[in-house]
Chains A and B, each alone.
Chain A
Amino acid sequence: MSGRLSAGTSPNTLLRGRTIHPGRAEGEALVSRMGISFFGGVDPETGIVVEKGHDLEGRCVAGRVLVFPAGKGSTVGSYTLYRLSKAGKAPAAILNADCEPITAVGCILAGIPCVDRLPIDRIAAGVRVRVDGDDGTAEIVTG
């Protein structure tokens, strides 16, 4: 079901997934191969990943299309996403392999478009991604 490519003429790659929270956004991909614990793992005022040893340690999630397999850790992490959005430091969108309730609820509280069931290993760090949370798609912009 997931991972079908578009047959259109656009050079862009369209990845199809499942809507977790609607909304549209575009940004540069910030890609992790690790789970993210927003509570304790991301500074809610700056958006900087602070978890020791994390592959995004020291990177800022603000305005980026944040790509990671799944959330982890305390359920209070939902509130961290909300706090990030209030501070203007939230990711533009979140793409997961398998979304879990902490991230899903956080995206709803914070109004962050979120899509899961995507082949996220096809998304390279730094590429531009156009997320359509209404359709449950992510388009890698190459053109």
Chain B
Amino acid sequence: MILTSEEQSMISGGLGKSSQTAMQILAALGRIYGAERLIPVRSVQIAGVSYDNLGDAGLEWLAEMADGGGYVRVPATLNPAGMDLENWRALGIPADFAEPQLRVIEAFTRMGVTPTCTCTPYLAGNLPAFGDSVAWAESSAVCYANSVIGARTNREGGPSALAAALTGRTPEYGMHLEANRRPGVTVEVRARLGDTADFGALGKVIGDRLETAGQKPIPWIAGPDSPGTEQLKSLCASIATFGGAAMFHWRNVTPEAGKYDPPDEHIAVTERELRAARDSLTDASAAETDFVSLGCPHLTLAEVERIAGLLDGRRVAKEFWITTSRPVKREADRRGYSEIIERSGAKFAVDTCCVVAPIRGRFQAMATDSAKACYYAASKNRFRTRFLDFDAAVMEALAG
């Protein structure tokens, strides 16, 4: 791989210890994947923020990178942390978790990273343009950036995303190359798609098919012409969780779909399969459900408004978490939605979510509209799950 003179001075330690480590990471990844060079990136999204996932090892390394003088060269935001950074006590987060979690955030902040902790950076001030090269971690955001925005990113891990932030570069391979963005399978949707939950189920059906096929062609989806931001982010989260997909195209919806003819290889998704996928994500009854969580991926302002409308003047009967980014929460405060929601007894869990918070064992069954959240609730937190439409999940929280 060819390095510029500035890149060479970074890798030889001329620009400090942290830049050296960062450049070593990028060079090694470039070698492994056969990149010919590094390319500049416009923005970075860093994963590996929750102390629940990082542990002391991750915290120590981040502190060492900050001590070593690491500082971002491009705008960078963070994935959700393990707790609401302001309101963690009310959510039952123990102090011996909060303390190291805050030290993780402090290390990132010292390196110039914006401590907006969200899986939807594109809704919170980190929005690339079409064609931009970026280095994003967080599988749902990676899929959204490639598919919906038309920016270009591989599925970065925590250290490689931080390395990209500290150097402003990433190795040119994978999704950065036009040839690797070409679709390989046409997916014809023969089912009616309603709200976010249906799009999550669709992502599971397609993702499971890609996973079983062994090879993972990029899907070119022929479906309804008008999914909105909320539906697309639900699909992105699900297709990345179940199929490891970094990208899909959707006819007349995503910006690169029109570049290609529908691939010859063809699969269809039927109403029956969609129903089966929905059913497979539910193994708890309403009576068993003691936890409701909405906001995987983090809620848009419109979704927060919708929850406020449904909760207005009522009281919730179950623990109900509303997970979103700090900028969306601030706007919800300004518009009065937060007051309505909090008066109902529901709780905002800002900067975090039900996937990365340390809540294993706290609940027996969770209701949500997110297929991704169901997957991690079962595998990571050992909860049973109830997969519902968005409004039905809110009603579940109200029902005693």
Mark A residues whose CB is within 8 Å of B.
Answer: 18-21, 44, 75-76, 78-80, 82-83, 86, 99-102, 104-105, 107-109
Once A and B bind, how many residue pairs between them come within 8 Å at the CB atom? Answer: 63
Given A83-B56, A105-B160, A109-B159, A76 and B31 touching (CB < 8 A)?
Answer: no
Given known contacts A78-B157, A101-B160, A108 and B25 CB-to-CB distance under 8 angstroms: yes
Minimum C-beta distance from B86 to chain A (A): 26
The closest CB in chain A to the CB of B55 belongs to A79
The A-contacting residues of B in range 243-278, CB under 8 angstroms, are none
Contacts of B160 in A (CB 8 A): 101, 105
Q: Chain A residue with minimal CB distance to B159?
A: A105
| B287-303 interface with A by 8 A CB criterion | none
- In the bound assembly, the distance between CA atoms of A101 and B137 in angstroms comes to 14
Question: Are the C-beta atoms of A99 and B159 separated by less than 8 Å?
Answer: no
Are B32 and A99 in contact (CB-based, < 8 A)?
yes
**Would you mind naming 9 contact pairs between A and B with Cβ atoms under 8 Å apart?**
A44-B57, A75-B157, A75-B158, A76-B54, A78-B157, A78-B159, A79-B57, A82-B60, A101-B160
Q: Please, which residues of chain A bring their CB within 8 A of the CB of B58?
A: 76, 79
CB distance from B141 to the nearest CB of A (A): 15
Interface of B is mostly: helix
User: For chain B residues 16-42, which have a beta carbon within 8 Å of chain A?
Assistant: 21, 24-25, 28-29, 31-32
Q: In the complex, how many angstroms separate the beta carbon of B42 from the nearest chain A beta carbon? A: 22
B interface residues with partner A (beta carbon < 8 Å): 21, 24-25, 28-29, 31-32, 48, 53-58, 60-61, 157-160
Q: Are B28 and A109 in contact, CB atoms less than 8 angstroms apart?
A: no
Q: Are A82 and B32 closer than 8 Å at their CB atoms?
A: no
Chain B residues near A19 (CB-CB < 8 A): 31
Q: List chain A residues, Cβ under 8 A from B61.
A: 79, 82, 109
B32 and A20 contacting across the interface, CB-CB below 8 Å: yes
- What's the least CB distance linking B296 to chain A, in Å? 19
CB-nearest residue of chain B to A102: B157
Q: How far is the CB of B368 from chain A (nearest CB, A)?
A: 23
B360 → A minimal CB distance (Å): 15
* Residues of A with C-beta under 8 A to B157: 75, 78, 101-102, 105
CA distance A104 to B53 in the complex (A): 19
Chain B: which residue is nearest A106 at the CB level?
A: B159
Q: Is the CB of A21 within 8 A of B28?
A: yes
Known: A79-B61, A82-B61, A109-B21. A104 touches B32 (CB 8 A): yes
Residues on B with C-beta less than 8 A from A105 are: 25, 28-29, 157, 159-160
Most buried by B among A75, A82, A100, A107: A75
In the docked arrangement, what's the CA distance between A20 and B32, Å? Answer: 8
Give the CA-CA distance A79 to B53 in the complex, in Å.
10
Structural contact, A21 and B32, CB atoms closer than 8 A: no
State whether A76 and B28 are in contact (beta carbons under 8 Å apart), knowing that A83-B56, A83-B60, A101-B157 are contacts in the complex: no
Q: How far is the CB of A113 from chain B (nearest CB, A)?
A: 12
- Residue of A76, A82, A102 near B53 (CB, 8 A) is A76
A69 to B371 alpha-carbon distance, docked (Å): 34
Q: Smallest CB-CB separation from B28: which chain A residue?
A: A104
- Contact in complex: B48, A76 (CB < 8 Å): yes
Q: How far is the CB of A44 from chain B (nearest CB, A)?
A: 6
Given contacts A79-B57, A83-B57, A101-B160, contact A108 B48 (CB under 8 A): no
Residues of A within 8 A of B28 (CB): 20-21, 104-105, 107-108
The closest CB in chain B to the CB of A19 belongs to B31
Q: Is B60 touching A86 in the complex (CB atoms < 8 A)?
A: yes
